[in-house]
Amino acid sequence: MFATRPHATVVLGFVSVLLAATAGSAVAGPPTPPRPETVVSLSEGPWPPTAGVLAADPSEVAAPGITAARTATQCPAAPYGVNHYAPGTGKTVALTFDDGPGVTTAAILSILQQNGVPATFFNLGVNSTVRPTLVRSEAVTGQVLGNHTWSHPRMPTLSSTAQASELDRASAEQTLLTGIAPCVFRPPYGEYNATTLSLAQQRHMAVWNWSVDTEDWKAGTSTSSYWVDRIVTRATAGGLQHPVVLMHNPPAGIPATVSALPRIIAYYRSQGYKFVDLRGGSGMRAPTPAAAATSDGLHLFVRSTTGSVSERTLRGSVWSGWTSLGGAVVGGPAAAATGSATTAVAAIGTDNSVYLNSVSDPGTSSAWANLGGFATSRPAFVTTPGLGEIVVIRGADGQAYLRQRTGTQWGNWQSLGGLLAPVAPAAAVTANGALTVAVVGADNAMWVRTRSSAGVWSIWHPVSGAIDADLALSTTADRTRLVAVVRGSGNQAGFVSVSNPDVTSWTGWGNLGGILASGPAVTVNGSALEVFAVGTDNRIYRNSATDGTQVTGWTGWRLVP
């Protein structure tokens, strides 16, 4: 899994379960999008030539092998027809990016992370083979990945067999890279016929075109303010209740789109729109923070606006300023105290590998050490004197993977199995030496697997919940039980559940309130539990359980100054 992977035969269609032996519910699909009274006609082009859309000659790219087994899938049943308007109630807007990944994809992802905005990326299979790390980075940041065919043909000109091949090769490549089957499809140039629609429906892919065309591809690689202004004007015109905005990130990139994107986001926010992806998800995608406590104080770690990791410390009642730890990371960091005066920080690099940095209380940090891996989620990180340091990630095949250091030696990556939703796992170790890994399954519920102090693993057990962001897991202050903190889907409030000592049962989810733009972070701080999350204003908020053993006495959410 963590070696270089050749293109392999991929079965299109996964059973929507956490484990092969344990059934789970299918992930809920997008609601039927409401249609405004005025129908907007799609642009007729002219369109860019296919040669500028592809990063390589399709004849020179090894396509993944395909087994045409589609009896089960991660996606819900798809309707027949074409959607043009963003899902959801109220005023919603969906940002979409075609023809990637390309050289500007990383910049687009960074802007989306800074603003906590979900989006949908319609990648080409050929381009995904050239820049696979960017496809995984899209998964790490929680964006929806869609099928845009293998080589960007005019679909109505192809036979049914050729159209099916275009769809299947693109889906196989995405599944190979991320363990996520595409549930949405956009035909190149917006062109389709009845065969296209039938083939997409058979593969459980909803077909999405657009209602707002920025025509950003006409800017090419120009950085002129003329093109930036034109893209913004077109993206914000029309006054639709549910616009789907078409933009591009082809191989050569469109710098003007990158420059226009913050203004487009700011406009729709100012007009009261809610950003959604084309699967109906409206959860904000701000990078999840991390926290750990040492004798020096309570440490808070975040992905900064420049893409590096930054840290600040609460000593008594006073917060220090931010200190940069450097790095170039995708998604939020994870952290744990490795001693009374040291903390280790784990993060995913732009190459999808896990990186680790050790920080002493005086503020001295080590260089980032590469632990390898092909991560499609933010990492989980936990440490304990008896077990050493442990990193857990969601791998490229959708399974959970663990790597452990005992003494100075890191072991190999170990598969824990499962079929995980593309959000980060979590891990914690209780005083009896038992390690518990928590994940979000394909049914969006929390599942746990525990390794006893003797090294014996349990099977995966469901806990429940409806979760759409990174998990957080900690022990209670006395280290006898576990505490899970999550962001619920829908209202995006924080919720907490506490296990019994052997982690075989959990309390019901207690509502912590708030509206969270990220997943939460949780850590023990003396006799208290501390929870941090990003709010909808992109600022960090803190909620404390003053009795961290009984997990009571919550203070409510307070802004971190």
Count CB-CB contacts under 10 A for residue 504: 11
Residue 420 has pLDDT above 70, yes or no: yes
Strand (E) positions, 320-434?
A: 323-326, 329-339, 342-349, 354-360, 369-372, 380-384, 388-394, 400-406, 409-410, 414-417, 426-429
> pLDDT tier at 442 (50, 70, 90 boundaries)?
confident
More confident residue, 185 or 387: 185
pTM, entire model:
0.87
Mean pLDDT, the chain, integer: 88
Element (H, E) at 134: helix 132-140
> For 47-91, how does the pLDDT look when each residue is reduced to its tens digit (9 = 90+)?
556 668 999 999 888 878 655 333 334 799 999 999 999 999 999
> For 497-547, how does the pLDDT look when each residue is reduced to its tens digit (9 = 90+)?
999 999 999 999 999 999 999 999 999 999 999 999 999 899 999 999 999
Domains of the chain: residue spans and CATH: 10-27+60-275 (3.20.20.370), 290-551 (2.120.10.70)
Q: Tell whether the torsion through CA atoms of 258, 263, 268 and 270 is positive or negative.
A: positive
Question: What's the one-letter identity of residue 543?
Answer: N
Q: For the CA atoms of 530, 322, 112, 285, what is the dihedral angle to 10 degrees?
A: 0
